[in-house]
Amino acid sequence: MKYAILSLRLLLKKYPYDLLIQAITIIISTVVTIIPIYMIDQIVRMVQDNRPIEEMMGMILLIALVFVAANIIGIFVAYYDAYIERNFKAECSILFFKKLDQIDYDFHESPKFLNDYTRALEDGTERIYRSAIGVIAIVRIVIQSLSVFVIIFTMHYMAVVYAIGIGIIYLFLRFQIGHLNYKAMSLQRPFMRQRGYVNRTFFIKDSMADLKTTQIEEILLENNAKANDEIVKVVDDLIMKKTIISYIGDILIASIYPITLGVLAYVTIEDIEIASFASLTVAATTLSTLVSQFVSAIGDLQNHTVECRIPFEVLNMKSKIEGIAFQDVMGDFSSLEVQNASFSYDKEHLVLDKINLHINKGEKIAIVGSNGAGKTTLVKLLLRLYDTTDGDIYINNQNYKQTTAKSLREKVGAVFQNVEVYAVSIAENILFRKPQNQSDIDLIHQALQFSGLDEYINSLEEGINTQVTREFNRTGAIFSGGQMQRLAIARGFAQNYQLFILDEPSSALDPLSEAQVYQNMMALGREKTIIFISHRLTTTVNADRIYLFEQGQIIEAGNHQELMALNGVYKKMFQSQASKYLGENDEDN
């Protein structure tokens, strides 16, 4: 019930005047319920009293007018309800999208979160809306039923007691069905995600080549078939149980009308007036309909509210980093200090172990080391996607753990190896917003020049306004791996980060192109502070300082000459790469 009230509160918060509209609906439906019962009583009495036909017709006409008026108002209410439904659901789904901004990065690594979030996104808005209007429907049916109860109760209480008793049993059965549905949904969720994953993969263009040329398709389809089998098992079991319970419930509800009538006839027929009996038959029919409606509404509400738990939990998820206002990072970037920082993803194995490094404004810092050494993890800590497990990071002498992530990320930004391009224009892909004025356009061109993508973009007919991907446009630009990385570098440049981190964004570039990017980077002078992570040690020669990572630790630090003089791991790596490099021939196609 808690979630039903929360849903209603959310609806009324967005549309407070809905309360008035719903009150009108309740009054109209109550009037429309009572009128037929009252009308039969009056007509029978008129017939018994031999009243003129015009008088009877006049009354019928009056009642007909009330019905017509009620229906006209009903049409407006239905139109308004559809309007609210459409808008409320759209607004609710935006709440879920926006929530993503306030969810810590590590949540995305939890299958439970992914199950819950996808479930909330898929039908959370529907469930919240249905729960909110479900509460309103129940209030309406209760008021309608009370008016009929009062009428029948004045004839004989037994009929009402029977109807209530059946209502309670039916309600219990509906709750059982609700629980079964919820359980079945939870059991199916991981398999539905598995199926969704396969669907997605078959749709993504990037996987097409693998799907066509390798056996991966078979593995995915096999997983899909397994997921289907599991879903079918769950659904089979559910349908069987639901059918039996529903059947029992329907028989019970169907018995209300004959039993109510029978009780009334048996107990009161001798001293009841014909007019009252006539109206009672109508009341008994209405009663059985209302009890069944009431129980269905309660059952539906319960079905929807159990499903609301997850969407509301998602909306109320508490993060430790995202969306929380600590202190903004003050002033321009001046220094970064990593002090004894350790980090573990699973609270067991240390991926970074007591890292110490410092970076001053304008320095160009290289981080090198073999795969899995912890370099990208450090970048994620520097962006405060995670907090250190031990030790601290300071920016301008402010502790990361006390800075607002958003303000930090306005100054510190990164470009990663894996690049996502979006189906919007090249300009928007670079700025991540719409260009507003000439200086935005100039910035885009500078960024393209910096990344070395300018020549290609200028050769396109629509230049920076060219749409990216052919998802929505036949002539959209398609980028090669190397061009995507250049685009990412341009993006990083255009964001104007004061501390700009490049996490192997040049791995798909050929050596010459890579050298050009690094040359451009060095030419930025003391304005920008840059950390670049690279496998290729030739790019580190001009760095102010190089940190060599191995198994989560910094094993050597210093500039190129210092590290070569050290005669250690760096020197060995450098020499072995330099000899291979001569034969290397990457393609920036």
Which residues here bind ligand ADP, judged by CB under 6 A?
109, 345, 351, 369, 371-377
Minimum CB distance to ligand ADP smaller for 423 or for 557:
557
- CA 379/CA 416 separation, integer angstroms: 9
Closer residue to ligand ADP (CB): 167 or 369: 369
Q: How far is the CB of 377 from ligand ADP (least distance, A)?
A: 3
- Min dist CB 370 to ligand ADP, Å, is 7
| Distance between CA atoms of residues 542 and 559, nearest Å | 8
Q: How far is CA 60 from CA 43, 72, 508, in A?
A: 9, 18, 84
Burial per residue of 490-523, b for 16 or more beta-carbon CB atoms within 10 angstroms, e otherwise: bbbbbbebbbbbbbbbbbbbbbebbeebbeebee
Specify the 3-state DSSP secondary structure of 474. coil
Nearest Cα to Cα of residue 249 among 145, 137, 172: 172
Q: How far is the CB of 509 from ligand ADP (least distance, A)?
A: 18
User: In the structure encoding, which two tokens stand for residue 287, read together?
Assistant: 């009663």
Instruction: Yes or no: say if 448 and 457 are a contact pair by the CB < 8 Å rule.
Output: yes
Distance CA 205, CA 574 (A): 38
CB of 485 to ligand ADP, least distance (A): 16
Structure token pair of residue 386? 């995670």
- CB of residue 343 vs ligand ADP: minimum separation in angstroms? 9
Looking at the Cβ atoms of 376 and 529, the one nearer to ligand ADP is 376
Q: How far is the CB of 381 from ligand ADP (least distance, A)?
A: 10
Tell the residue number behind the tokens 């964001």, with chain if given: 495
**How many Cβ atoms sit within 10 Å of the Cβ of residue 189?**
20
Q: Which is nearer to ligand ADP, 305 or 534 (CB)?
A: 534
Nearer to ligand ADP, 191 or 400 (CB): 400
Q: Give the amino acid at 168.
A: I
Q: Which is nearer to ligand ADP, 280 or 355 (CB)?
A: 355
Residue 543 or residue 548: which is nearer to ligand ADP going by CB? 548
Cβ proximity to ligand ADP: between 307 and 556 the closer is 556
Q: Which tokens is 493 given?
A: 């440049």
Place of tokens 């200090």: 337
Rounded least distance, CB 388 to ligand ADP, Å: 14
Nearer to ligand ADP, 380 or 571 (CB): 380
Q: Which is nearer to ligand ADP, 307 or 504 (CB)?
A: 504
Q: With the C-alpha atoms ordered 266, 268, 274, 275, is the resulting torsion angle positive or negative?
A: negative
Determine the Cα–Cα distance for residues 351 and 342; give it in Å rounded to an integer: 7
Smallest separation, CB 385 to ligand ADP (Å): 10
- Exposure of 239 in the CB half-sphere (CA atoms within 13 A): 6
Query: From the CB of 373, what's the least distance to ligand ADP, in Å?
Result: 4
What does the alpha-carbon distance between residue 443 and residue 376 come to, in Å, rounded to a whole number? 28
Contact 457, 426 (CB under 8 A): yes
Separation CA 82–CA 88 (nearest Å) = 10
**C-beta separation of 48 from 41 below 8 A:** no
Smaller CB distance to ligand ADP: residue 373 or 393? 373
Q: Which is nearer to ligand ADP, 182 or 197 (CB)?
A: 197
Q: Are 471 and 499 in contact (CB under 8 A)?
A: no
8 A C-beta contact, residue 417 and residue 399? no
Of 351 and 521, the one with the shorter C-beta distance to ligand ADP is 351
- 103, 322 Cβ separation under 8 angstroms: yes
Phi-psi region of 45 (alpha: psi -120 to 50; beta: other; left: phi over 0): alpha
* Nearest distance in Å: CB 538, ligand ADP: 19
Whole-number minimum distance, CB 528 to ligand ADP, in Å? 22
**Distances, alpha carbon 425 to alpha carbons 417, 487, 496, in Å:** 21, 12, 20
CB of 408 to ligand ADP, least distance (A): 20
> Is there a contact between 251 and 278 (Cβ–Cβ < 8 Å)?
no
Q: Which amino acid is at 535?
A: H
Least Cβ distance, residue 120 to ligand ADP (angstroms): 23
Residue in the block written with tokens 């500039």: 559
> Residues 435, 425: contact at Cβ < 8 Å?
no
Least distance (Å) from ligand ADP to the CB of residue 10? 34
Judged by beta carbon, residue 13 or residue 349, the one nearer ligand ADP is: 349
Among 337, 383, 384, 333, residue whose Cα is nearest residue 362: 333
